[in-house]
Chain A
Amino acid sequence: MIVVAPEQNSKAKKFKDDFWKSKDIKISIGDIVETKGDTPESDTPMGPTPKPHVTDLRSWDMKLLSRYEPFYAPFCDMCCLCTFGKCDLLDKKGACGIDSKAQQARIVLLACNIGTAAHAGHSRHLIHHLIEELGEDFPIDLGLNIDIEAPLIRTIIGKKPQKLSDLEETMSYVEQQLSHLLSACHTGQEGSYLDFESKALHSGVMDDLAREVGDMAQIVALNMPKGDGDAPLVEMGVGTIDSEKPVVLCIGHNVLPGSNIMDYLDETGQEEDLEVCGICCAAIDISRYNDRAKVVGPLSRQLKFIRSGVADVIIVDEQCIRTDVLEEAQKKNTAVIATTDKMCLGLPDMTDKDPDLIVSKLLNKEIEGALILDSDKVGEVSVKVAKILAPERKKLKLLPELDEVQNMALECTECAWCNRVCPNDKPMMEAVVAAGKGDFSGFEKLYLNDVCYSCGRCEQECERELPLMSMLAKAGERLAKTEKFNIRAGRGPVQDVEIRRVGAPLVLGDIPGVIAIVGCSNYPDGGKEVAEMAKEFLERNYIVVATGCGAMSIGEYTDEEGKTLYERYSGDFESRGLLNIGSCVSNAHISGACIKIANIFAKKPLEGNFEEIADYILNRVGACGVAWGAYSQKAAAIATGVNRWGIPAVVGPHGSKYRRLYLGRADKKENWKIKDMRTGKIMDGEPAPEHLIYAAENMAEATVMTAKLCIRPTDTGKGRQIKLNHYIDLYKKYYGELPPDIHLFVRNEKDIPITYKKDVKEILDNVGWEPREIPQEPSLMGIGDD
């Protein structure tokens, strides 16, 4: 028998926190906060690694890295980081002595640090602002169904944050670690690729912590949904935006400017008069705050939408915003307001000026745009500017006529350079040539589902200087009008009560897995594939959780009845549940849910107990991330962080450009030894999960690999049958026959799915398969130097 957890003696709570109803309740500072049924801090036993320093979890990292060896694919042979260079590292060491592998790992660490810094900067800004507004004693209370508010902070820092100011301690720790980690990237510091990787893993977990701080702060302080599966459906898509009204567009990740715009509209009774919409995570978070805000869509919409001229005012905050946004906006006489220290765009600082003065300077073009670092002021200024600009801009909301597009297209010389510079290898030239003949179907194909993600590289290259993005936007205009979708507002963390319900079936394998569809929109072939993957796994009874651009892409798919997957499936953490967890920062709740499984279900103590928790997740929680369009340094940090917690991830083909994957070698039996903590015996294990981070070439490969990466050594016979059944089904669907490695995952005959019994047995006979002993408590702890 596989022992997964002691008997439960706590009963599941039934009530639900109705935060939408309580939305207007003001919590006054100084209120007495009831401490919920939780062990007082002083009684909580502290594990071995509270606030681990860079090297404290190194032995765990080395265990992971010996099983999942780093696979490097250099993006560049050279290094140009110091004045000894450039150094060519192909078959040679650099002037500082570094070799190619260590250099790749160093760049990965650098990327993770950039990502972590982006989230840490974002979260710092949020808590600083929210403490200023609400006071440092503002309680961290996620409602009655969530006792374990901060599983990551509890595990890493070793205590539970009770009030906003407690989050500062976590941020200080993250910032301190980050400076050590960044320092290791300097020339003449670390020299081992494995140690660079260990540091990257540490950086990833720091990123995880920073995200948890940011999202918890905004959930409690801005009263966003607190783990609510019934969070409202929010309108999404260009077609839902009424361009007759003044339109304010928020781009980026920081909720504060957008939430202040919503507040200003409410306070002045103008909520029906303006459209407030967003691109990227800002859209998700504003709509978590106020479900009247609309979501334009993922990052891939950015340039197309700016060029469409629909927005009268663009508010930029931080991360993933086009750095030429000002130049692009000016072409359409759209006003730009920058709102954070991360992106000032060379604009004059108007923070201390009177709002009406800023409005008039913007309208009279006395300033190119405004930097306003006070988000309260942003609300008023943006609304006033949009209202005055909108009528003047009516004509600018029109794109060139289609015959103009055709005439422009006729200038194409068919040099093909647009195709060659397209990072996504899309047929722009063919679309232009066809448009010259009055056939816009090529453009439409590129437009739909953001197959062309409007990066604009083709346009930069065009020798006839054709405005390809504007031509694309025009050709797609008709389609854009029909783009009316929805997305469930980001619900935030998974409730403890939900974990209690699904903990056993997940760990035993009855629910085949949790698929986390996350990340950006650098998709190899449009966003539809993401929705298709989500649908495939939902229909197979997996739990699908989503965040960020991935969550938006899922909502952009409708079935025959015009329904989105969010309308089709429940938003609860259960089999066939589809959960929009929230924005990039909300990814913390995905690792958080896995940690909660270890704690609530298996009663593993969290405080200072990283390794035991990660070991539990790696061996028992069948979760797998899919970051199909991962592109950013933040995504690198997020993936590396979840990997350290023992959660594998699949990225798209562009993910190979991150330079490093963690690949297991199923053919090396000795790599999969585990220790059975019950008996103390070291035994043969199985390649489950086989890889920690894997780049798939196309959707078919990704889907099959994702199903395989949900297999865990603790699956019961029944659970394993279910998982193998899906793996075989999907493999057959895309490859036409049974997976040739199926024998590796059959421990004894009870594991064989009934539907495929005959076929599987044939394979087993062919390879000389023998049943093997099943560990009761498989673990990597106690292996190697332990």
Chain B
Amino acid sequence: MSNERIIPYQPTVIAGPKQALLVTPETAELMIKKSKRPLLILGPLVKEEPLLSFASNIAEKWNLPVVTTADAYKPFKDKGLNPTSYGVVEIVNLLNDPEWKGVNGEGQHDLVIFLGCIYYIGSQGLSSLKHYAPHLKTLTICKFFHSNADASFPNMKDEEWFKYLKKMGTSG
């Protein structure tokens, strides 16, 4: 199938005519650069190496505030990040509220980057933000195409995905 990379990874999460924009690491980086108050959300699927390092490097390189979901907190804390822990539904609920002041109290975020949440609950969270958080954009950098995001990496195998993540996490 030629368009396999941009059919939602779990094909039945398709929700309607609006689909995410397919992005490369370069476009993803551009989105982060343009954003004023980005937030990186890291889920339990990236709490082990080498993904733990890839994700931490991205956070550090772009100086992103980090929220961890489920039990991803400890590994990232041990890795030297200073994450805030929320359930994925809790953080999405806060992001839906235009009045919320963000994890650092500096104002609601304008870009939320997801990495490592369980696909189907992640997809539900993205759907919630798509409907009720017009004040922010969502980007997913998992190895799965997430049609409910504004922008998403395509479906890919580990090898290619690791390259993408490394690229986003190294300077220069």
Contacts and interface: CB of A to CB of B under 8 A. Distances in A.
A656 interface: yes
B9 A735 contact: no
B73 A735 contact: yes
Interface string A129-150: 0000000000000000000000
Which of B10, B18, B85, B90 gathers the greatest number of chain A CB atoms within 10 Å? B90
Contacts of A423: 10, 120
A400 interface: no
B134 interface: yes
6 contacts: A72-B132, A420-B10, A657-B120, A663-B93, A697-B88, A735-B73
Contact of B85 (A101, A421, A663, A735): A735
Nearest to A701: B70
B74 A735 contact: yes
Given A72-B128, A88-B17, 20 more contacts: A71-B96, A73-B92, A73-B127, A74-B15, A76-B16, A77-B127, A90-B16, A90-B130, A420-B10, A421-B11, A423-B10, A425-B10, A657-B124, A663-B89, A663-B90, A694-B89, A697-B118, A698-B118, A701-B70, A736-B77
B16 A78 contact: yes
Interface string B44-84: 10000000000000000000000001110110011000001
A420 B70 contact: no
A734 B71 contact: yes
Contact of B87 (A91, A420, A697): A697
B24 to A, nearest CB: 22
B161 interface: no
Interface string A66-104: 000001111111100000000011110000000011000
B120 A71 contact: no
A497 interface: no
A660 to B, nearest CB: 10
Interface in A697-724: 697-698, 700-701, 705
B51 to A, nearest CB: 16
Interface of A: 71-78, 88-91, 100-101, 420-421, 423, 425, 524, 653-654, 656-657, 661, 663, 665, 667, 694-698, 700-701, 705, 734-737, 740
A632 to B, nearest CB: 17
Residue among A78, A695, A737 with the most chain B CB within 10 A? A695
A743 to B, nearest CB: 15
A656 B121 contact: yes
B154 interface: no
A693 to B, nearest CB: 10
A75 B15 contact: yes
A701 B18 CA distance: 32
A773 B18 CA distance: 51
A657 B127 CA distance: 11
B136 to A, nearest CB: 14
Contacts of A697: 43-44, 69-70, 87-88, 117-118, 121
A664 to B, nearest CB: 9
A74 B128 contact: yes
B131 interface: yes
A694 B87 contact: yes
Given A654-B120, A695-B121, A698-B71, A91 B134 contact: yes
Contacts of B124: 73, 75, 656-657
B125 interface: yes
Nearest to B15: A77
Given A72-B128, A90-B16, A735-B74, A653 B10 contact: no
Most chain A CB inside 10 Å of its own CB: which residue of B16, B77, B84, B121: B121
B157 to A, nearest CB: 9
Nearest to A735: B73
Contacts of B96: 71
B119 interface: yes
A228 to B, nearest CB: 38
B131 A72 contact: yes
Contact of A524 (B77, B117, B118): B118
B120 A420 contact: no
Contacts of B155: 420
B69 A88 contact: no
A74 B70 contact: no
Contact of A77 (B18, B44, B70, B94): B18
A71 B93 CA distance: 7
Contacts of A76: 15-16
A698 B15 contact: no
Contacts of B16: 76-78, 88, 90
Interface string B1-38: 00000000111100111100000000000000000000
A700 B96 CA distance: 25
Contact of A735 (B71, B92, B94): B71
A744 B135 CA distance: 30
B163 to A, nearest CB: 19
Given A425-B120, A697-B69, A71 B89 contact: yes
Contacts of B15: 74-78, 90
Contacts of A657: 120, 124
A653 B118 contact: yes
Contacts of A420: 9-11, 155
Best-surrounded residue of B92, B93, B117, B134 (most CB of chain A within 10 A) = B93
A341 to B, nearest CB: 31
Nearest to A525: B118
A700 B117 CA distance: 14
A394 B155 CA distance: 46
Contacts of A89: 131
Contacts of A737: 74, 77
Interface in B114-171: 117-121, 124-125, 127-128, 130-132, 134, 155
Contacts of B89: 71, 73, 656, 661, 663, 694-695
B131 A90 contact: yes
Contact of B44 (A73, A100, A656, A698): A698
Top 5 nearest A-B pairs (CB, nearest first) are A77-B16, A736-B74, A700-B71, A697-B70, A656-B124
A101 B78 CA distance: 40
Given A71-B93, A653-B120, A698-B44, A90 B128 contact: no
A423 B118 CA distance: 11
Contacts of A736: 73-74, 77-78
Contacts of A654: 120-121
